[in-house]
Amino acid sequence: SETRVLALVGSLRAGSLNRRLAEVVRDQAPAGVTVEIAEGLDALPFYNEDLDGDAAPEAVRAFRDQVAAADRILVLTPEYNGTMPAVLNNAIDWASRPFGEGAIKGKVLGVVGTAVGQYGGQWAHEDARKSAKVAGANVADSVALSHAYAWGSDPTTDPETVQAFVDSLGKLVAHESVA
């Protein structure tokens, strides 16, 4: 049966390299794997317990439904100031609630991405893994790709880089899912 992967991209800009890598991974997904890129993470308000509950905003309910429907979650993110961008952190926070039964609970999740710094956003990726774990996700630590791109270059046109990201998707799909 089809494995549904939801991609969460930690950059909002139109020319985002992480977004383009998500699109490449989506387009090169193996048979039996469908990758959907979550749109509108910037339509989620900043997490606020006063907004949460049965009357949570529509954008929040739609996002939680998307996460709940996914078999796997692939995070593709750059690093901002040594950690994950706020938009991604915020999405994880919404997916983590209600406490103990958030949509992210038990989801097999992997974190990869590209950044221009020499460590390829490794801090951001480590922080995203930590946060997703605390939120209850089943984090696949073996899905680890912190790709450093050279300023002005386009990692999405480099076959080895593209293959490494596609391989990450394969590892994520192969990762054991414990109900």
Enumerate binding residues for ligand FNR (CB under 6 A).
11, 13, 16-19, 78-82, 115-117, 121
Measure the CA–CA gap between 4 and 44, rounded to whole angstroms.
22
The sheet carrying 72-76 orders its strands as 33-37, 3-9, 72-76, 108-115, 138-148
* Residue 69 or 119 with smaller CB distance to ligand FNR: 119
* Residue 25 or 103 with smaller CB distance to ligand FNR: 25
Beta carbon of residue 16, minimum distance to ligand FNR (angstroms, whole number): 3
Query: In the structure encoding, which two tokens stand for residue 147, read together?
Result: 């790709």
Phi, psi at 68, each rounded to 5°: -60, -35
Other CB atoms within 10 Å distance of the CB of residue 58: 8
Measure the CA–CA gap between 125 and 31, rounded to whole angstroms.
27
* Residue 99 or 151 with smaller CB distance to ligand FNR: 151
* Residue 39 or 65 with smaller CB distance to ligand FNR: 39
* Residue 1 or 81 with smaller CB distance to ligand FNR: 81
The amino acid that residue 169 corresponds to is: L
Beta carbon of residue 121, minimum distance to ligand FNR (angstroms, whole number): 5
Beta carbon of residue 40, minimum distance to ligand FNR (angstroms, whole number): 17
